[in-house]
Amino acid sequence: MTRNGIGIRTAQLRPTRLKGQIHVYDGAGKGKSQAALGVVLRSIGNGINNSNNYNRVLLLRFLKGPERDYDEDGAIAALQRGFPHLIDQVRTGRAEFFDKHEITVFDTQEALRGWDVAKGAIASGLYSVVVLDEINPVLDLGLLKVDEVIKTLKSKPQDLEVIATGRGAPQELLDIADLHSEMKPQHHSAAELQGLEGIEIYTGSGKGKSTSALGKALKAIGRGINHPGSTRVLIMQWLKGGSGYTEDEAIAALQQSYPEVVDHQRCGGDAIVWRNSRQELDYIEAERGWEIAKTAIASGLYKTIILDELNPTVDLELLPVEPIVEALLRKPRHTEVIITGRCQNQPEYFELASVHSEVYCHKHYANHGVELKRGVDF
């Protein structure tokens, strides 16, 4: 059978890989550190019901010293309170931007301190995932020796996942990466002319769209925990009606700990949807999801609304575009709407985005026959 258009694989039972991969998220677009946070959420979900500590995650944040507050701080603190046995965080560097001409001894020492932590964590066997957040600009600034970092990563334990983020990834790192997603910013004059804010779109063929949206949701959850009732979050997911997603378990645990902050809804069947295999249930489920989302957008009750995989749902013509445009134009100014998913034809609502990252796939292990991994990819 010929498969036309966008196809989405949902949470079917599937084989999963054991070997860890090296992921690189770079580019000038938004979503790199958010994607790493999304993997952290999935990894925690995978470890909640396991008695061993192997699903532990290290989040090592370069160039993000404690003197400055970041959006993700609250989310990470909430995860650490809820799952202290599953996540460690280390922050290094000063809390301000600088270029190669402004490097101080402190910057070099902090980069080396962070790398000492990274080397020990990679060698320890204690972690299933090590996130090296903003290591790419550290390497680009010359604060660490690229060849030493490459040597350590090439000799990592076989089952360890390593995620490197930030602009300016050196070619030597890209050469050994198993996955390389580049976030490229896209600009829409209509959004600027109309003064539209709070609509973000993540699309493209690369990995990191839904994962980045999960990271964005975590940031919003962190804000909501510190300010209950003022920053409620809705995660609405299309084409993912099945079970087996590791983020489900982590989100459910967060809902139990912080019921006033996060709502999570799914719609769709547990099957691949292709343009020439659409069934009546696909349309019914897509419309059910949109009714929930439309009400949430109009209500003003949510600070952040994630519309995960809405783009392919529209591209498959399971939903019309016009009602989505109308709902986004009428949304309360304080409500953020994040829309994800690949599509072959960009719908009209893309023109309303104040942030639009096109995620380009330069490398993906799945394209070389490597299976996806529970707790990392789904």
Q: Give me the phi and psi of 333, to 5 degrees please.
A: -60, -30
- Is residue 238 within 8 A of residue 313, CB to CB? The reply is yes
**What pLDDT is stored for residue 346 in this prediction?**
93
369: how many CB neighbours lie within 10 A of its CB? 6
- SS3 (DSSP) at 253: helix
**What pLDDT is stored for residue 228 in this prediction?**
64
**What pLDDT is stored for residue 44 in this prediction?**
87
Cα–Cα distance, 138 to 250 (Å, whole number): 31
Write out the chain's pLDDT in tens, 378 residues. Answer: 344 555 555 555 555 677 899 999 999 999 999 999 999 888 888 888 776 656 799 999 999 988 888 878 888 888 888 888 899 999 999 988 899 999 999 999 999 999 999 999 999 999 999 999 999 999 999 999 999 999 999 999 999 999 999 999 999 999 999 999 999 999 988 888 888 899 999 999 999 999 899 888 888 888 877 776 667 899 999 988 777 777 888 788 778 777 888 899 999 887 667 778 889 999 999 999 999 999 999 999 999 999 999 999 999 999 999 999 999 999 999 999 999 999 999 999 999 999 999 999 999 998 888 888 877 887
Return the closest-CA partner of residue 289 out of 369, 225, 234, 216.
Answer: 234
Rounded to 5°, the CA angle 172-177-178 comes to: 155
Cα–Cα distance, 253 to 49 (Å, whole number): 11
- Is residue 314 within 8 A of residue 302, CB to CB? The reply is no
User: What stretches of 56-154 show up as alpha helix (H) in DSSP?
Assistant: 71-82, 105-124, 135-140, 146-154
Cα–Cα distance, 306 to 310 (Å, whole number): 9
Cα–Cα distance, 361 to 349 (Å, whole number): 23
Per-residue pLDDT tens digits for 152-203: 999 999 999 999 999 999 999 999 999 999 999 999 888 888 888 999 999 9
**What pLDDT is stored for residue 203 in this prediction?**
96
Per-residue pLDDT tens digits for 328-351: 999 999 999 999 999 999 999 999
* b/e sequence 275-296, b meaning 16+ C-beta within 10 Å: beeeeeebeebbeebbeebeeb
**What pLDDT is stored for residue 54 in this prediction?**
66
Output DSSP code: residue 185. E
Output DSSP code: residue 8. B
Find all residues with CB under 8 Å of 16, minimum gap 6, and list them: 371, 372, 373, 374
* Side chain identity, residue 199: I
Structure tokens at 340: 């994800």
Radius of gyration of the chain (CA): 20
Cα–Cα distance, 43 to 25 (Å, whole number): 18
- Is residue 43 within 8 A of residue 376, CB to CB? The reply is yes
Reported as type and span, the H/E element at residue 220 is: helix 209-226
**What pLDDT is stored for residue 371 in this prediction?**
84
Residue whose pair of structure tokens reads 């979503």 in the numeric block: 31
